[in-house]
Amino acid sequence: MGPLSFLASRINYALDLITARLHDFRIEDTIVISGTPRSGSTWLMELLESLPEYKSVFEPFHPSWYPEFRKLGIPYDPYVPTSEDYPKLRAYLEKVFTGRVGAQFPHRQYLRLGTITRRFKASKLIVKFVRANTMLPWIANTFNLRATYFIIRHPCATIASQIATGYYSRITPEQLANEVRKVEGLEELAGRVADLNTEIGRLAAVWAFENYVSLASKEKAWYTVVYERLVSEPEEELPALFAHVGEEVPGAAWERVGRPSMVTRRSYGKEYIGTPKQLLKWREKLSERQVKEILEVASWFGLDFYTTEPEPDYDALARWGVAVG
């Protein structure tokens, strides 16, 4: 970390501590967003951040940015059964959901005047995770949140975007197999997962496991956002998205829906964002063999509603309790 990034991390941390003293952030006002890396969760966060009085808390399970989380020693992608209690994790998330955890962001975009102003004025929180899918049912069951959103995106599109941005599987096949083995109904898949010997296969297994846990939950205390539907039918999906929290669509959300998120601008041209062509971009990035492997691994988990088509089979997705339109 260079000196400017170090200074930015300290200033960002101090700003969070100051705003924690200025406002009484309440769990009942807090909105949670969960998705896999490169699933569109940041875009969704920015849309919801157009709600008055809200600011975002970005990735509080990132060990490099949040020292308190790092001290917990929680491994990547742990499966957290809904029926069990995890006092240290619960105590940490209580602090996150009430704005009492500071982030050591090394990024200077958080220090822009408009962003700083929002951080000081906002009295409510939107907390965004890409490392919480495997504990999302537990989180939704444990905390009295205002709302929870779960976003899902085509595995080929997700993985193509991960590769383009230098992302890699941060858990070994053996570690992932151990977590898969803990989930009722997936025990027999552990051996297959442990034997995966390609990066594409490992990324596919992580995508499938992370999405399976939330999709298979019997009590879905959240709104499931289908990324492709939000891109292709924003006129229908945005009102439904905001209706989940009893709000009309803010004008700023209509303006943002066709713009790339802050973490997408670096990897895709603006001409693709918010258009149907965006949903086909992964076909240029992946080979037929890679696509076949991704879809095959997803099918191990029963997640066969995504095919070689850009959008999911919505009838098949409905069998997982996800209804759109």
pLDDT reported for residue 269: 47
Distant-in-sequence, close-in-space partners of 324: CB < 8 Å, separation ≥ 6: 226, 229, 237, 314, 317
The answer to whether residue 272 scores a pLDDT higher than 70 is: no
Whether residue 111 contacts residue 99, with contact meaning beta carbons closer than 8 Å, is answered with: no
Nearest to 8 by CA among 99, 104, 119: 104
Instruction: Give pLDDT tens digits for 218-259.
Output: 888 999 999 999 999 999 999 999 999 999 999 999 998 877
Neighbours of 274 (CB within 10 A): 18
pLDDT reported for residue 262: 58
Q: Cα separation of 153 and 173, whole Å? A: 22
The structural domain count of the chain equals: 1
Q: Name the residue type at position 310.
A: P
What mean pLDDT do residues 263-270 have? 51
The answer to whether residue 166 scores a pLDDT higher than 90 is: no
The answer to whether residue 273 scores a pLDDT higher than 70 is: no
More confident residue, 268 or 298: 298
Does some domain include residue 320? no
Does some domain include residue 319? no
Q: Name the residue type at position 26.
A: R
Query: Which phi and psi (to 5°) does residue 292 adopt?
Result: -60, -40
pLDDT reported for residue 261: 60
Strands laid side by side in the 147-152 sheet: 54-58, 124-129, 31-34, 147-152, 223-226
Mean pLDDT over each residue of the chain, to the nearest integer: 89
CATH of the domain at 111: 3.40.50.300
pLDDT bucket at 265, cuts 50 / 70 / 90: very low
pLDDT reported for residue 310: 93
What mean pLDDT do residues 195-212 have? 96
Strand partners, 33: 128, 149
Does some domain include residue 97? yes
What is the sign, positive or negative, of the torsion defined by CA atoms of 72, 76, 79, 82? positive
Does some domain include residue 68? yes
Instruction: From residue 176, give the alpha-carbon distance in Å to each of 74, 152, 210, 290.
Output: 14, 20, 10, 20
Does some domain include residue 322? no
Does some domain include residue 150? yes
pLDDT reported for residue 100: 92
Does some domain include residue 324? no
Instruction: Give pLDDT tens digits for 126-165.
Output: 999 999 999 999 999 999 999 999 999 999 999 999 999 8
Q: Cα separation of 306 and 325, whole Å? A: 18
- Among 36-45, 72-81, 109-118, the minimum mean pLDDT is found in 109-118
By residue range, what is the domain housing residue 56?
3-314
Does some domain include residue 321? no
Q: Cα separation of 15 and 20, whole Å? A: 9
